[in-house]
Structure 1
Amino acid sequence: MDFDSYYSNDYAYSPVILKNASVWKNLLWRNHSNSCHLIQSTIPDKIDNSSFQLLFTILYLIVWLAAIFGNLCVIYVVSLKQVTLSSVRSVFICSLAVSDILMCLTSLPITAVSLFTRDWVFPRLFCKLSGVFQGGSVFISSFTLTAIAVDRYFFICYPVVEVISFSNAVAIVIFIWILGYCFAMPVGVFSEAEDYSPLCGLFCEETWPDADSGGVSRIRKVYGLFVLLIQFGLPMIISCVCYYLIGQVITEQIEKRKQQEVILPKNQQKFNNRKARSNKMMAAMVGGLVLAWLPMNLINLYRDFSSSEKGSEWFLLIFAACHVVAMTSAVWNPIIYSWFNPLFRDTVKTAFKKKYAQYRRRPTETPVDANRSNPSPHLQPNVLLTVSL
């Protein structure tokens, strides 16, 4: 990659931004020489502004905390057998939660730090591994969402027949994880931590074999279109078809009940509310997928088909905005696919209330009081809580 073309008077770069950029020069284990040039002074971008960096730091932190908390709640409920572990839906929901957590631990922090520093601050090997783990977790999330849509279609449209058994669901999840990392493997294979002297630091770049001097690669274009189709296009189409068919079945069931029973105005309103609630739920499922990942796929496609030598100083800022939106999918998924379930929501509330009550009693409770407040287990009713995810 030729960086000489960036040394131009076209950019009048602010000294304030250059001072802010110098903060990152010796971050972590880096120790750059004074003779190298900061990339911020060579290839300017609006993301170097401290106000933008503060804004995105806050946004990333909010998304990270909300996503980790929400998905850990899902795993907590499933792992402690608060829900039926033999449920097919619980297998897919748990797989989605794990992949979202993995995405928050890899894609979110690594991309955020790289955007702010503008170079690669991590070990060289991580350049290859990060591409595989980031891309793999994204593929896995999209494929799992598709599997959930297909499972719900079979569950509602064919309630008598067990189309997907528990063992089949486990096998599907394993296949999804293997397939997701296989599809992300090309990024790891062609990623290298490069040194572009006289710029300070290393740069984790995708070095495709047929790339020209501007960084444009025909293979990368084909792979970008493949990712757009497999990670976004097909999951969106399959999900839309499944939820449309589910909506049709629910509407037909409601109409049949209206014809078979004498519907009172109160019951009529219940049927209408059920239909509206189902429509809103399915719209949220499809809308969450589209709104979260469409901007990210479009900005990646633009990068694949544009020359890096004529990059806009707004590109990284726009990329950061699209990336934050994409990462919010890890926040919406546990809300849409778990928290909207009333039984799941009540289970989480009950579990936390129980823990909080135990915490409040612990400092003041005496052994005698403890025995009084906890009668013999032989007097306790045996209650099994089952949640259908």
Structure 2
Amino acid sequence: MTSTPNTHLVSLAAGDLLMVLLTVPFISIVYTVSSYPFGETVCRASEFVKDLSLGITVFTLTALSADRYMAIVRPVSHHVSDTADRVTVIVAVGIWVFSAILALPAALFSHVPDKFTPTGEKYHICTPFPPYLGDLYPKIHTLVKFIVYYVLPLVLIATFYVLMARHLLVSAQHLPGEAAGQQRQVQARRKVAKMVLAFVTIFAICFLPINIFIMWWHFGENSSMNYNIYWHSFRIVGFCLSFINSCINPIALYFVSGTFRKYFNRHVFCWCTRRRRGRRRDWDPTDSTATRLSTAPRTEHVHLRMVGGADNGTHDAPHRLTLTSTTSLLSSRNYTNPGSVV
């Protein structure tokens, strides 16, 4: 299971786990209470982890797309190199470091200011926009995040996939009919490319509503005055979808990848797998899928022909070799190579 795509998937899973454990509980509670109940430390940590996880997700998906592009367009130079695994780890670590750097403003500037309702009741919110940076900072911050975390990665990923699709179409036309091994390699690479494309599509759909709301809120005319129950519902749906993105990746992986589905069944759903194995052990001897053992002896007579000699081996030797053995006849079963490509 150790490969470049799986290394990036481990990094992606770690970022999703941070989001689920350290961000979702503190942000979702805002919609159940009238005032932010946590202090400034929790606010900064939560906002930092949210931006960190977002960066890890989008940059890892971009790295996965670039890796699939290199694996399909330049498979030999991509896989033969001895430094491929080391470069993959360096890229994964670099993504975490770069995402942490981009998330630093949320850790430095997030705070919990005092707010007042029209009736004079005080409440608190957690916001990454301090008032001393002015009214322009929220717009710049929002626009930069929208471009860096959403638009630019999707443009790069779309470019990689257009080039991959073009290369696959051209290579499929030039593959000879008897090159079965090459066709299997192309099909395996297509499966991994489809897996990455599924992740990217899910990311684009899940983060589109929240980006629409944030851009409308900061750049829409009189957005604070036009904020109503419809925009509030749209905002909640956007937040929920952005959090669902951190939970839906393993579900998508289960349905897209046969190899991962097998290991999910073995290690995650081991209780169900054991039950199925127990039922298999209670086999019926009359069942065609059961293992059948035949111990009947079989004797074969093999004539030996002399090699060389006066007549150059044209006559049968007067010797006869008798072979008697016990054979086991096993029914055929489907076999999946655990080391196969996703």
CA-CA distance at 1:277 after TM superposition: 7.1
CA-CA distance at 1:276 after TM superposition: 9.5
More helix by share: 1
- Change in 2 beyond 3 A, CA 1:250/1:229: same
- Asked if 2 retains the 8 angstrom alpha-carbon contact of 1:250 and 1:275, the reply is no
Please report the TM-score for the alignment, with normalisation by the length of structure 1.
0.61
For 1:90, the equivalent position in structure 2 comes to 6
**Structure-2 separation of matches of 1:236 and 1:353:** 34
Q: Show structure 1 runs of 5+ residues with no match.
A: 1-82, 212-216, 264-269, 363-382
- Change in 2 beyond 3 A, CA 1:353/1:175: closer
CA-CA distance at 1:299 after TM superposition: 1.0
Amino acid at match of 1:242: F
1:207 aligns with 2:122: no
Aligned residue pairs total 272
Amino acid at match of 1:302: W
- Asked if 1 retains the 8 angstrom alpha-carbon contact of 2:65 and 2:193, the reply is no
Q: Show structure 2 runs of 5+ residues with no match.
A: 279-335
The correspondence of residues 18-167 of structure 1 with structure 2, limited to 5 A, is 83-84=1-2, 87-162=3-78, 165-167=84-86
CA-CA distance at 1:388 after TM superposition: 3.7
For 2:109, the equivalent position in structure 1 comes to 190
For 2:294, the equivalent position in structure 1 comes to none
For 1:345, the equivalent position in structure 2 comes to 261
CA distances 1:6-33 after superposition (whole Å, capped 9, x unpaired): xxxxxxxxxxxxxxxxxxxxxxxxxxxx
Secondary structure at the residue paired with 1:193? coil
**Structure-2 separation of matches of 1:292 and 1:355:** 32
Secondary structure at the residue paired with 1:196? strand
Secondary structure at the residue paired with 2:113? strand
The two structures, once aligned, show a CA RMSD in angstroms of 3.4
Which of 211, 235, 245 in structure 2 is aligned with 1:319? 235
- Asked if 2 retains the 8 angstrom alpha-carbon contact of 1:191 and 1:204, the reply is yes
- Change in 2 beyond 3 A, CA 1:387/1:116: farther
- Asked if 1 retains the 8 angstrom alpha-carbon contact of 2:254 and 2:264, the reply is no
**Structure-2 separation of matches of 1:114 and 1:329:** 20
CA distances 1:149-194 after superposition (whole Å, capped 9, x unpaired): 0011111111111277111111111111111122122223222112
1:290 aligns with 2:204: yes
Amino acid at match of 2:225: K
Choose 1 or 2 for highest CA Rg: 2
For 1:218, the equivalent position in structure 2 comes to 136
CA-CA distance at 1:93 after TM superposition: 0.5
**Structure-1 separation of matches of 2:225 and 2:41:** 29
For 1:236, the equivalent position in structure 2 comes to 154
**Structure-2 separation of matches of 1:175 and 1:200:** 43
* Higher RCO (C-alpha under 8 Å, 6+ residues apart): 1
- Asked if 1 retains the 8 angstrom alpha-carbon contact of 2:206 and 2:241, the reply is yes
Q: Identical aligned pairs, as a percentage?
A: 21
CA-CA distance at 1:336 after TM superposition: 4.0
More strand by share: 2
CA-CA distance at 1:278 after TM superposition: 8.2
